[in-house]
Structure 1
């Protein structure tokens, strides 16, 4: 949200914030990016809005716009709540844009659920003191680059090296395994038309360039990610797993992706076969099952899992 410069802009901004959240005058002043000396102006705005009926005063010095009746059915309300909770867990560091999004989602919920979600939003707001301003700025520039169709230039700190990237962003995705955000697109400094995946947390010194980008009509994000266990793509690898009878029911509850085979054998063991775009992201999930699963193939994955278990045994001295 840009800083309002006139009274009309300030009043509109106040109404927009109070549409989705309960705030006090001091909090409104801070969230609008206004200097402390404008606090009295915001207080006068609130007094006028209360007299006109556009805003109501609550206990504790807070204000809000009168709630509107929700048009969501119970399943839709649960979907909105789930989206808000996923956004909350994804945003480990405070981001003002995320808070506004959370509040807008919360405002669509029925009374009881809205109250609980608002309490979670208030808890998220407490993270503000330790927020990473550079990370928030990066998120903002990535969003603008994607939505405005512009090239994003940044230094990318991978685990192996630091490189300069000029990215035409095709898609933004949250990794279902670690809830981190990734940008998918073409690095024009690298050449070629193959999209690559870049983790936002590893971007530094981001700059929004004026150069325009166009997302190819034949690019489909779900096709691109169809074989990924998390976010990584690569050559397809067939993986075969053998689970013990003790975890049979738990295995049945796991969404293994399209094309996966899951067969319960007469012995009570469960045989799972699936094809993924590389097994690196799959290995931590397999290790999470401990000794309840055996990797039958491919040999490289079996060796990596066995090596990790061996290291664990040495750490615990058994």
Structure 2
């Protein structure tokens, strides 16, 4: 949020905030990024706005803007609020856009639920007070997310430095879609890097984007691009050649396997022995590894051979680590 420079900007910002949250003068001053010396000015703003009926006092020195007609029914508001909560869980630090969305949706929840949701929002707001590197990282993440969203919604090219695990490269991205990985809850931009030959979309993790700049160049999303088709073979977000994966789960986790969403294309077969045979077709198996390892010794990889070898090696390394620990 930009720090308001004039009284008019400050009053407008106060109204925007109090439409979606109940705050006191000190909290508002900090939320606006104003120095403590501006506390009295904010208090006068609140007094004036209360006199004109634009805000109301709700006790304990807190204020709010009277609720207006909701555009969502309670179930719709809860569904969207829950989705936004999942979005904010992916961020290691504070993201002002996530909080703003949560506050707007909270205002549309029924009374008791709204009170509980406001407490959750307040806990998330505390991340804003992070110090040093954590605060700077949160601000940078908010800025990146804002620019990525604007590039997609405004049809503009986004230029940035992309820090992959192996190298740093310059990207000028035409964004086709923005998606959250259901496995690691990270946000990704899907699109074409116009600095590379070809028109095949690639996937870019937002957390690895640095020095993003929104260019004036405009672009279009091809009408032939279908995000669901593009991601249809992905276990999380990464795509690739279709790979058949066969897993054999022990009887001890039969119910857990049945309750786990494996996608519409999964072939899940409970066996008379109590074991469960699962066959998946995914675009490459690397994203599956953390999930498979999370089952420990309750699952055996049957195929492909490369995945079976990788998981076996990871278990062997873990066992060796614990053997060394027990000896020391």
Please give the range of the TM-score, normalised by the shorter of the 2 chains: over 0.9
Determine the C-alpha separation between the residues in 2 that align with 1:114 and 1:84: 15
Determine the C-alpha separation between the residues in 1 that align with 2:116 and 2:246: 43
CA contact (8 A) 2:156 2:215 kept: yes
The aligned residue for residue 236 of structure 2 is 230
Determine the C-alpha separation between the residues in 1 that align with 2:179 and 2:24: 35
Partner of 1:117, secondary structure, is helix
For residues 224 and 127 of structure 1, do their structure 2 counterparts lie closer, same or farther at Cα, with a shift above 3 Å needed? Answer: same
The answer to whether 1:78 aligns with 2:78 is yes
Task: Report the alpha carbon displacement of residue 136 of structure 1 after superposing the two structures with TM.
Answer: 2.2
The aligned residue for residue 165 of structure 1 is 171
The answer to whether 1:185 aligns with 2:182 is no
The aligned residue for residue 25 of structure 1 is 25
Partner of 2:214, secondary structure, is strand
- CA offsets per residue over residues 181-212 of structure 1, 9 Å max, x none? 11111001112100000111111111111111
Task: Report the alpha carbon displacement of residue 31 of structure 1 after superposing the two structures with TM.
Answer: 3.2
Task: Report the alpha carbon displacement of residue 39 of structure 1 after superposing the two structures with TM.
Answer: 3.8
CA contact (8 A) 1:141 1:208 kept: yes
For residues 35 and 149 of structure 1, do their structure 2 counterparts lie closer, same or farther at Cα, with a shift above 3 Å needed? Answer: farther
Determine the C-alpha separation between the residues in 2 that align with 1:28 and 1:85: 23
Partner of 2:60, secondary structure, is helix
For residues 204 and 88 of structure 1, do their structure 2 counterparts lie closer, same or farther at Cα, with a shift above 3 Å needed? Answer: closer
Partner of 1:317, secondary structure, is helix
Task: Report the alpha carbon displacement of residue 77 of structure 1 after superposing the two structures with TM.
Answer: 4.3
Determine the C-alpha separation between the residues in 1 that align with 2:249 and 2:305: 17
Task: Report the alpha carbon displacement of residue 231 of structure 1 after superposing the two structures with TM.
Answer: 0.7
Task: Report the alpha carbon displacement of residue 245 of structure 1 after superposing the two structures with TM.
Answer: 1.0
The aligned residue for residue 127 of structure 2 is 127
Unaligned 5+ residue runs, structure 2? none
- Across the aligned residues of Structure 1 and Structure 2, the Cα RMSD in angstroms comes to 2.0
Unaligned 5+ residue runs, structure 1? none
Determine the C-alpha separation between the residues in 1 that align with 2:274 and 2:87: 39
Determine the C-alpha separation between the residues in 1 that align with 2:86 and 2:310: 31
What pairs with 1:301-312 in structure 2 (closer than 5 Å)? 301-312=307-318
